Structures are given as C-alpha cells and as structure tokens.
Amino acid sequence: MSQSDRPCWDIFCKIVDNYGDIGICWRLSQQLVNEHHVNVRLFIDHLNVASKIIPLLNANGPLQYIHGVAVCAWPTADTLPAKVVIETFSCQLPESYVARMTELQSVWINLEYLSAEIWVGDFHAKPSPQAKFNITRHFFFPGFTEKTGGLIREKNLMSKRDEFLNSASQQTKFWQELAVDQLIVKNSLKISLFCYPQANVLPLVSALISQQQNSTLFITFNDTITTLSDIFADFKQINANTLTKENITIFFLPFLSQAHYDRLLWACDLNFVRGEDSWIRAIWASKAFIWQPYLQTEATHIKKMQAFLDLYLSHATKEIQTLLTNAYLAWSTPQANAEVNLIDFIHALPKLNSYAAQQADRFAGQTDLASNLHSFSEKLAKNKV
C-alpha cells in the first residue's frame, strides 16, 4: 500500500500533567503507522513538554515527521479533519474542527483512561450522540479483558524483551548508556522506582536495609525526587547521581527514552510504577511490580487499585494474593506494618516473578489496543456508508 493510499487518522493529545498522556499517544501513533499502515497526524497542545518523550521533536515546529508520524501543533480553524479522529482522554476537540468532522462524516472515537473496574466493559464502544454537531462520538476503553479495548502492545515487544534478557552484550551496552557501574548491579537486587510523592518510600528503604542481599535502586527522573531528599539525607554521596548506605546503592537516572525505560523494567527484578504508561510496560516486562494509582479524593484510587488486584490475582494462589495485596496497600496507604509487608514481598520475589510472567502471557493472548481500535474504526466507517 502506497503512502497516498493509506487511511488517515488524527490523534489529539492534551498534556494535563506529567508525561503519561503523551507517552500513550506517542506509542499508539507509532504502532498504527508501523503495523496498521495508517497515516497519523498527532496534534499536541504543548510541544515543548512532548519533546521529553519525543527527543527529535522541535518544540517550535508546527509540523514535522518523526518515525513516520506527522507531529503537529494544535489545529487552526481551517484544519481539515481526517476520516478517523481519536480524541484521547476527553481532551476536547476545537469546535471548528468538530463542525468540519460532521461535514466529512468522520469517525469520532474518544480513547479513555485505563481501568480494571468492572463497569468499563459495559461502557466500552458505546455511542454518545453529540446533538450540537449532529455527529456521534464513541467511547473506547482500554482494559484487561476481551470486553474492553485491550492494552497497548507492539507486535514484536515480547520477542525484543526476550532477546534483551538473553543477550549479555545488549545488557552491558544498556548499563553503559546509563553510566551505571555494572560491578555494583551484577550481584544485587535491582529495583526501578517511579512513583508519586505519596508513596511509602521510607519503609521500602528500611526493608531493603534489613536484607542480607545488596540492593540497587534506580530512581527515574520525576517530580518525586525532591520529596526523597530527607529519606536519603544520611546516605553517602559517591558522585552527583549515586548514593550509598550499608547494602543499598541508589542511582538517580536522567529522563529516559521510552525504549530505555522498557529496558530498565526488563533488567530489574522488581519495578515500582505509577499512572498508566509505566503500569502497562511493567506488565509486559514479566517481572514483579507494584503499581501506584494517581491520588484521588474519597480514596477512589484505592478502589481502582483493588479492582486491578481482583482481576490480576484471579489466577493466583492464596499466598500470592495476600503478598501482593499487602504490598500494594503498604506502598499506597499509611500503614504501621508497611515495612513488614514489603519485606515479605521481597522474600517472595522468585514466585512473584513467575506469576508475573504467567499474567503477562495471559494478557498478551488478547488482542492489543491498536488492533482493536483499527478494527473498530473500520466497522464504524462501514456503517456510515
């Protein structure tokens, strides 16, 4: 199929906070181009922020082609819509643009946030008529079951992961690129840490110090680092990016590309993740992980966390159910016994990693998000004919 014969999609991304929204949109855009032969225009409201996730992006360029994706500034009043329009996370399309969508009979899909809550399956793919513009908007929910839109997963992701884990040279190159001393990480428990400020980091540090094993903690660049300064106040500074205390070494990593972050998750024995993008990538890493949901009022985030645990642990033994549930609560809620629960979790890592690999395979058996979106858009387009 030639470039001119490919279907055209517009994807809209407003960066609300951090980099989760653009992270999801950038992965999805590239996959649609590479695997489904779609021409994608990715409209972004803050190009300067997006450049963290898309390193080749020039924040002052209104249109540029990167990895086959047309990355664009927010559309103007005369922008002609594509035949398929993906509004991500209810970001609100410009009214002038929606009016022209009506004229062209564009397919309008709103891609929602990921959730494991049961109601998601009931609302997935449901229409929402927009009387003001005489056009129908459809809700599309990512999720963990066949009743939802699935999870982002590139076709070759699992094979690339396995190739990396089976290649000493790839791993050596990776640590060198991060300027990490391989002698330090060689015989240590490797842990990646990406969390919100509310995470109970101190009990984790105490739990690691209590172990006989050496531990290496990789803290990715994020807004949590400044909140950790008190916790690491008594650590010895080896250099600008490395601290140590007893059996723990801490590396403060720079902002990682998506490819490097994937490799970090693959290389570690335990991953702490947050939000949506890193949560999904931790699942595909097939390693034990603890997910921290975004803090919400009335403990709504804990309900979302429990919904995920109910689904994720549906194939687990009672022991694994208890270990994971206690560790998740220890990480995201104030608890007097948080350190004990995290110690129990660390001691059980071999069996937890085995279970994580089983669940990664289970979810990988489902159709991925991009493929589901592509099929759904074609179905809607046929109904318009």
53-62, pLDDT tens digit by residue?
A: 999 999 998 8
Catalytic member of 112, 262, 269, 276 = 276
pLDDT tens per residue, range 116-159 = 999 999 999 999 999 999 999 999 999 999 999 999 999 999 99
CA distance 366 to 121: 15
Say which residue the tokens 């403060």 belong to.
252
What is the per-residue pLDDT for 181? 86
| Structural domains of the chain sorted by starting position, each given as residue range(s) with its CATH number in brackets | 3-151+366-384 (3.40.50), 157-364 (3.40.50.2000)
Q: Which of 229, 218, 290, 285 is nearest to 254 (CA)?
A: 218
| Total residues belonging to the chain | 385
Catalytic member of 10, 21, 87, 339 = 21
Say which residue the tokens 């509310």 belong to.
198
CA distance 71 to 50: 10
CA distance 106 to 64: 24
**Could you say which DSSP state residue 253 is in?**
-
Dihedral (Cα; 315, 121, 290, 340), 10-degree rounding: -60
CA distance 221 to 106: 40
Decide if 291 contacts 300 (C-beta within 8 A).
Answer: no
According to DSSP, the residues that pair with 86 across neighbouring strands are 11, 109
pTM of the model: 0.95
What is the per-residue pLDDT for 222? 61
Encoding tokens for residue 206?
């105490």
Q: Write b or e for each residue in 179-192: b if 16 or more Cβ atoms lie within 10 A of its Cβ, otherwise e.
A: ebeeebbeebbbbb
* DSSP E strand stretches across the chain: 8-13, 39-44, 63-66, 69-73, 84-88, 107-111, 127-130, 135-140, 189-193, 215-219, 236-239, 242-245, 248-252, 270-274, 288-292
What is the per-residue pLDDT for 318? 98
Q: Measuring CA to CA, how many Å separate 271 from each of 219, 232, 262?
A: 10, 20, 11
What is the per-residue pLDDT for 332? 94
pLDDT tens per residue, range 164-175 = 999 999 999 999
CA distance 42 to 77: 17
Decide if 255 contacts 159 (C-beta within 8 A).
Answer: no
Confidence of residue 1 (pLDDT cuts 50, 70, 90): low
pLDDT tens per residue, range 316-355 = 999 999 999 999 999 999 887 999 999 999 999 999 999 9
**Could you say which DSSP state residue 1 is in?**
-
According to DSSP, the residues that pair with 69 across neighbouring strands are 66
Say which residue the tokens 């600008």 belong to.
240
CA 56 to chain centre: 20
Neighbours of 107 (CB within 10 A): 24
Q: Which of 53, 70, 52 is nearest to 61 (CA)?
A: 70
Instruction: Say whether 192 sits in a helix, a strand or coil.
Output: strand
Upper half-sphere CA count for residue 383 (Cβ side, 13 Å): 11
Please say if 21 is a catalytic residue.
yes
Confidence of residue 372 (pLDDT cuts 50, 70, 90): very high
